[in-house]
Amino acid sequence: MLSILLPWLILYSCFLNNGSCDLYHELKELMTEFAINLYQQLADPENRTNLIISPASVIISLELLQFGAQGNTFAQLENALGFNIHDERVQDFMRAVHEEMTNTSQGTVVQLACALFIQASVHLSPFFIEHATLWANSSLQQTNFSEPNRTAAQISEWVSSNIGDEEADSISLERASSPLNQIAVVSTLYFKSMWQKKFFFTDTQPLAFTTAEGFILKVPTMYQTADVNYGQFHTASLEQFSVIELPYLGETVSMFVVLPSDRRTSLSHIESHLSAKTITLWANNLKRIKMDIFLPRFSIQSHFDLKWILPMLGITDIFDPSEADFKGISEQGNLYISEAIHKAKIEIEEDGTNASGATGNSDAHTSMSLQISTISQLQQTLKAQIQQNTQICA
């Protein structure tokens, strides 16, 4: 079986002063590791399906919650992310990351936003208001959780306005016995960029595509001959695979395509070896070469409930009314997170890539893997179990 892994849009830049570069690399690696851990937790039960996730929208939500969390609740968030958001150096760095991440001067559009929906009658801490409203295009939204349909419509409208999707699916909220104690945290990431070298529509043709279940389909497959960065690597168990880099306009952001050398090698064998150091190794050891590139054109979207995933990363208290400690948000009542909604989608076309993610639904279906993480390492993973007659080849 021929497997294709399209991971890691990587943007390398050290836009801070030299003294901050060590912190830059440390935080970049921590966020990358969190993204990979999140992806692997989601991928395990969906071994033969496609999956798309947006860790950036998850990370920014957890960062925001750190400002209001205390005690063990804060410790769990800090341990999962690997950094303390109250550290002024981290705050300065992350603000620069968020600002640079939304810089569209290189022909790439990245929009990141986060909102905390909270019961209108809850009195918020001035400290939390100050930090939340200054954090990565964040906002505080008053709502009425005793009217879940109206609140769901309010959240859906906010998500649609931030990812440019007027037809975003409606969001269903659970009814809680005490709506005054509820919080819904929702964040979005929107990515759009053109390829540095576009695929011609006239070169796209239907080619054989065999699913993991053995069904043979005809799918629209893009084609081009291009000079790309290419490398061959192997896992610790000596499974060979190839990596090529497809740059976007401006060549500051790229998509990496990973292809096992043996059709019998499962993609999961390659994925199990992913780490922040692995991604850096790939990026630093590619060589320029001319290649014939065949890439399926498709559109994928996913929905899942992070209330079942984040506890696997050690984040449990935030969803428990009796354990959650958000007194940094409000001294009024025992606040807890009632919803952890996550949606993501991606379109790969001849011109380029459109992708979006929203975190903040209780639908556990998954479908193809997008990881978009930080300014320093925008990450996109698109997982597909494929067997076909064409392949990425030299």
Are 381 and 6 contacting, i.e. CB atoms less than 8 angstroms apart? yes
- 106 has a pLDDT exceeding 80: no
Are 336 and 165 contacting, i.e. CB atoms less than 8 angstroms apart? no
285 HSE (CA, 13 A, CB side): 12
- 209 has a pLDDT exceeding 80: no
Beta pairing partners, 26: none
- Indicate the pLDDT class of residue 13, thresholds 50, 70 and 90: very low
- Indicate the pLDDT class of residue 324, thresholds 50, 70 and 90: very high
- Indicate the pLDDT class of residue 100, thresholds 50, 70 and 90: low
- 167 has a pLDDT exceeding 60: no
Compute the mean pLDDT over every residue in the chain, rounded to the nearest whole number.
Answer: 75
| % of the chain at pLDDT higher than 90 | 23
Token pair of 125 as six digits: 């801490």
Residue 3 has a pLDDT of 30
Domain annotation for the chain: domains and CATH numbers:
16-192+301-385 (3.30.497.10), 201-297 (2.30.39.10)
* Mean pLDDT value of segment 127-144: 85
More confident residue, 393 or 187: 187
* Mean pLDDT value of segment 162-174: 55
SS (H, E, C) the chain: CCEEEECCCCCCCCCCCHHHHHHHHHHHHHHHHHHHHHHHHHHHHHCCCCECCCHHHHHHHHHHHHHHCCHHHHHHHHHHHCCCCCCHHHHHHHHHHHHHHCCCCCCEEEEEEEEEEEECCCCCCHHHHHHHCCCCCEEEEEECCCCHHHHHHHHHHHHHHHHCCCCCCCCCCCCCCCHHHEEEEEEEEEEEEEECCCCCHHHCEEEEEECCCCCEEEEEEEEEEEEEEEEEEECCCCCEEEEEEEEECCCCCEEEEEEECCCCCCHHHHHCCCCHHHHHHHHHCCEEEEEEEEEECEEEEEEEECCCCHHHHCCCHHHCCCCCCCCCCCCCCCCEEEEEEEEEEEEECCCEEEEEEEECCCCCCCCCCCCCCCCCCCCCCEEEECEECCCCEC
Residue 306 has a pLDDT of 86
More confident residue, 268 or 384: 268
Specify the amino acid at residue 65: L
The model carries a pTM of 0.78
Q: Look up tokens 């001035």; give the residue.
A: 126
Phi/psi of residue 159, nearest 5 degrees = -60, -45
- 181 has a pLDDT exceeding 70: no
Asked which of 79-88, 96-105, 114-123, 226-235 is least confident by mean pLDDT, the reply is 96-105
Quote the crossing angle between the two packed helices 71-81 and 55-68, to the nearest 10°. Answer: 150
Q: Highest mean pLDDT range out of 138-142, 173-177, 362-366?
A: 138-142
Note the pLDDT tens digit of each residue in 346-374.
Answer: 888 999 887 766 665 222 222 222 222 22
* Mean pLDDT value of segment 381-389: 30
Residue 47 has a pLDDT of 54
Residue 343 has a pLDDT of 76
* Mean pLDDT value of segment 188-197: 85
Asked which of 28-37, 112-121, 302-311, 353-362 is least confident by mean pLDDT, the reply is 353-362
69 HSE (CA, 13 A, CB side): 28
Residue 210 has a pLDDT of 65
Note the pLDDT tens digit of each residue in 225-279.
Answer: 999 999 999 888 888 899 999 888 877 778 888 888 877 777 777 887 888 888 8
Residues 6+ apart with CB under 8 A from 67: 85, 86, 127, 128, 131, 132, 135, 328, 329
More confident residue, 19 or 315: 315
Hey, what's the torsion of the CAs at 309, 315, 318, 321, to 10 degrees? 80
Cα–Cα distance between 119 and 41 in angstroms, integer?
32
| % of the chain at pLDDT higher than 70 | 75
Cα–Cα distance between 271 and 279 in angstroms, integer?
11
* Cα of 46 vs its chain's centroid, Å: 17
More confident residue, 377 or 141: 141
Residue 211 has a pLDDT of 65
- 124 has a pLDDT exceeding 60: yes
